[in-house]
Amino acid sequence: MSIEQAKLKIEPLRIAINRHNHRYHVLDDPSISDNEYDHLIQQLLTIEQQYPELVTVDSPTQRVGGEALLAFGQVRHEVPMLSLDKAFSQDDIQEFDRRIHDRLKSDEAIEYACEPKLDGIAVSLLYDNGVLTSGATRGDGQTGEDITHNVRTIPSIPLRLLGSDWPEYLEVRGEIYIPRAGFKALNEQAMKADEKLFVNSRNAAAGSLRNLNPEVTANRPLEMCCYSAGLVSDGSVAEKHGDVLKQFQGWGLKINSEMRIVTGIQACIVYYENLSKKRERLSYDIDGIVFKVNDLALQHKLGCSVRAPRWAVARKFPAEEEMTVLERIEFQVGRTGAITPVACLAPVFVGGATVSKATLHNMNELERLDVRVEDTVIIRRAGDVIPQVVKVVLERRPKGSLPSVLPTVCPVCGSDIERSEAEAIARCTGGLYCSAQRKEAIRHFASRKALDIDGLGEKRIDQLVDKELVNTVADLFQLTDESLIRLERCGAKSAANLMSAFETSKQTTLARFIYALGIQQVGEATAMTLAHHFCTLAALEAATADALQEVDDVGPIVAQHIALFFQQDHNRKVIDALLTQGVHWPAITPSVQVDELPLAGQIWVLTGALTVMTRDEGKAYLQSLGAKVAGSVSAKTTQVVAGENAGSKLTKAEALGVPVMDETTFMVFLQEQRVAL
């Protein structure tokens, strides 16, 4: 491609990409697939790489973060970015309206623009001839920090305005924020990486925006919503605030879809009440409503005080953060044995409710915050979100306070608490006995890949546990027809079927039994390996952590989980009770080790629908022969079994030259291996 051809092609490409960016990030209405969008970007990148002289500052390819900055420069706002006066009650709002009428010497109802007050960071963007040239924080209202490099990475901020009727010089003001889903994902990522969690979405947005490395900002889920114009070169914007925002939208800028124009202060009060009810369903955090006189000429007439415009007010919601004293720390046990520290607080009214308890997430977070008894802490509660401790006020910490420590035994059942250095979560090891884990233990024990107790679903388990008919999995085999019939919606036939299922499930395999115990990180494959390595349950129960690590696929963490599980007397008693009730399995010949099985070291993949058996059954047969069953095809795959309607895995196997057999051939193969089908 010649440079002349490139020039003809590059601008339509940029226009198309900018249009699709606008539809995706601003209108939330994409018109092409991600693949098609990526293809357009790749075309543009190819041209720009071939002809670097054609790269422009507003090209869509220039959104990625550049090199880290040593420091931010300063930007002076030609039109000051003022604060807003705050209203905390309906009376305050009515007083705001009264003052406006007094200043205007008019009794006519005022037209107001009503907008959600986003909980983010106020910024100013400058567009010169439609091209983004500068971005700055509000700062002290007179001078802010130059964050141009960072705002350029935010997808909802256009690098070039759409259309052509914009002013030659336009200052756009708005709020940069992180939506709730993005904030949740950000903290989940930080928790997995054992990093400090963000206190709230506003802090996360501020930290992201003020990071000296634009690459960090580019990887944060930031958005911008515009709420006003600052300096405009030739006054060529609409005469009313709401119409200005609609102009912004036409130029590709994002505005809030909840913005409304109403007449009279009573309509503002109704808007506030309606949005208060809707608040928790929004995809972003708001901390109030902003009411502005809609007519720009009236705004100019009303003017500003030293710190705030007289034509606008922010009606605040009840505070979502408050300070209180932490009186003690309790440790709760979840249904999977996870130990969660909970702060017990001096009651405090926050986020519209009185709070006396707040989550501390896990021990890593408790230690990171260094929360101690009698500390003064900041509590955050937003709507129905579980209250959480977000910060300790160290200046108010009493002398002689001691760090909080994890208890050594479960507060519910007394079993040892296990906490691996590689995991943030501490767990109770009494999985078969602990009453906090009772329902989850039974559900797992009865699941299809464990003892496969047909008809024992979650609702039936809830009934059995809630009526105290079953305390451990061993109690399942002591149930009678009479006790089951007393359950709601369990007639004689259902009771008989369930009793039959209990009896059938007693005939199992050692691998299934090990899996059914619910030992942390012991899945089907590991259970199979353990069964063939130790051959008997007694040998497995007696194995030390060192001996367990001699088993393929068992590392130090899993070995510790297994050893601690069998060290708990409670668990051993439940296992003994299960054996007494008649749970049994065929003996495994000790001479047959996993590495001596016919498919040892092989990797098989099952794809498509099998008709004679399920894929799970096929997987179990292959594992009994020593094979590893993978979920994807690679060059290391030994064999693929393709059932009906096999898709991409079959295609990939054929492309890689991996052997493929159909279901009929697979059945013959299993029979040749003397598998009991």
Residues serving a catalytic function are: 117
Count how many Cα atoms sit within 13 Å of the Cα of residue 75 in the half-sphere of its side chain.
23
CA angle 519, 444, 191 (to 5 degrees): 60
Question: 429: which DSSP letter?
Answer: S
Closest CA to 414 of 425, 427, 430, 426: 430
Alpha helix segments (H runs only) across 374-523: 438-446, 458-466, 481-485, 492-505, 510-516
The CA–CA distances, whole Å, from 329 to 25, 323, 409, 412, 413 equal 43, 17, 15, 15, 18
Residue with tokens 């690459």: 215
Hey, what are 249's tokens?
């939208």
Hey, what are 253's tokens?
């800028």
Hey, what are 402's tokens?
């001691």
Hey, what are 379's tokens?
């509590």
137: Cα separation from own chain's centroid:
28
Residue with tokens 């705004």: 299
Hey, what are 133's tokens?
């040239």
The CA–CA distances, whole Å, from 203 to 187, 206, 273 equal 12, 5, 27
Whole-number Å distance between alpha carbons of 332 and 435: 12
Contact 442, 465 (CB under 8 A): yes
Secondary structure, 3-state, 37-73: HHHHHHHHHHHHHHCHHHCCCCCHHHHCCCCCCCCCC
CA angle 29, 34, 36 (to 5 degrees): 105
Whole-number Å distance between alpha carbons of 236 and 55: 30
Whole-number Å distance between alpha carbons of 150 and 126: 14
Whole-number Å distance between alpha carbons of 222 and 202: 11
Hey, what are 338's tokens?
């996870």
Whole-number Å distance between alpha carbons of 437 and 662: 43
Closest CA to 443 of 428, 464, 429: 464
Closest CA to 497 of 516, 486, 484: 484
Whole-number Å distance between alpha carbons of 5 and 149: 31
Count how many Cα atoms sit within 13 Å of the Cα of residue 298 in the half-sphere of its side chain.
21
Beta strands in 334-375 (DSSP E): 338-350, 353-359
Closest CA to 171 of 221, 228, 101, 238: 228
Q: In what order do the strands lie in the sheet with 312-316?
A: 85-87, 312-316, 286-293, 111-118, 260-263
Whole-number Å distance between alpha carbons of 344 and 93: 37
- Determine the longest span between alpha carbons in the chain, in angstroms: 101
The CA–CA distances, whole Å, from 383 to 43, 120, 319, 352 equal 46, 18, 11, 7
Whole-number Å distance between alpha carbons of 579 and 502: 14
